[in-house]
Structure formats: C-alpha cells, structure tokens
Amino acid sequence: MTAGTSSLNDITASTADAVAQDPANAAVVFRASGIPQGTVGSAITAGAHGLRVDEPPALGGEGTAPNPVEVYLGALISCQIVTYRFWAQRLGIVVEDLSIEAEGDLDIRGFFGLDERVRAGFQAVRVRVKITGPETSERYAELQAAVDAHCPVLDLTTGATPVETTLETA
C-alpha cells in the first residue's frame, strides 16, 4: 500500500473534473432495502449485494449473522480503511500496513425502553488504527486528521444527519 500515482489518485482527479464541469455530478444516491428474516433478523439488499443481519440469542436472535451495531462498526472500519488509502495517496504518505479495530459501548436499557434517559445507540465508540511505514509520526497524524475530516461513515456518527421516515400502510 504505497502512495504515489495509482488508480485512487486517478479516481480523485476524474471526479474533480466531472464536478468542475457540472456540480450536479457530485450528488450520489445510495439505496438499500430489507425484509424480516427469522425471529429478529433481516435480509438486506444494497445494490447487487446481499447482507444478512441477526441478533445474538440473548437479544432474541439466532446468532446467524452480525447484529446491526456490529454491521455499523464494520461499516465504520471499512470506510476508514478506504479513506486512509485514498488520503495516503493524495498526501503522498507511504503506508506499508494498516489494520483497524472498533468497539462500542451500548446500554440496552435505551433499546428496550427501560430508561428513557439512556440513549438507544452507542454511548461511546473507540477506533484503534495500527499503521506502519517509513513516515514520521507527524505525517501519520496528518493522515489521520485527513481521514477524520473526510470519512463519510465517521461523519454519520459525529454529525447530525437528517433522517425522514415515511410510513406506508395498506
């Protein structure tokens, strides 16, 4: 995983050109859909891909797939990885090895409505990035700052994203 000229920098350049020609080219819509599966599981379709989600037995599931908050942690990690790779190349920073772990603290009283003062989501999330290469600590800190500023899934967590839910009944 070395920095330099590669397809990631080419993607950034071609995207910048397309947006400069027409700012509407910056708008992308992603979609997903889901249906119930099992007691509390679900089958999710995102583009041409499928994903199963379930809960552990302690939460009424069968433990056949990651639960929703584990899927979130995986989404955060995968988004961080791609953002590190894009920005390392953009900044000319060499990354020889990269691994990321994430964990979150969840108080289930919020989900079950046992205490309305407790948030339903994570109370805290910790991300541990392990990076190796020939750069100085300062250069890797510069890379981390760029990733923290540009990672879409991290932004979903740290910023307020308006969500509009429409209920359709038959």
In this predicted model, what pLDDT tens digit does every residue of 89-140 receive, in sequence order?
999 999 999 999 999 999 999 999 999 999 999 999 999 999 999 999 999 9
Helix or strand run (H / E) with residue 82: helix 68-91
Banded model confidence at residue 12, pLDDT cuts 50, 70, 90: confident
Encoded tokens for 54: 């379930």
**Over 70: is that where the pLDDT of 2 sits?**
no
Alpha helix ranges (H) inside the chain = 7-21, 68-91, 109-112, 137-150, 152-158
**Over 90: is that where the pLDDT of 5 sits?**
no
pTM strictly above 0.75: yes
- If you average pLDDT over residues 34-41, what whole number do you get? 96
pLDDT recorded at residue 25: 87
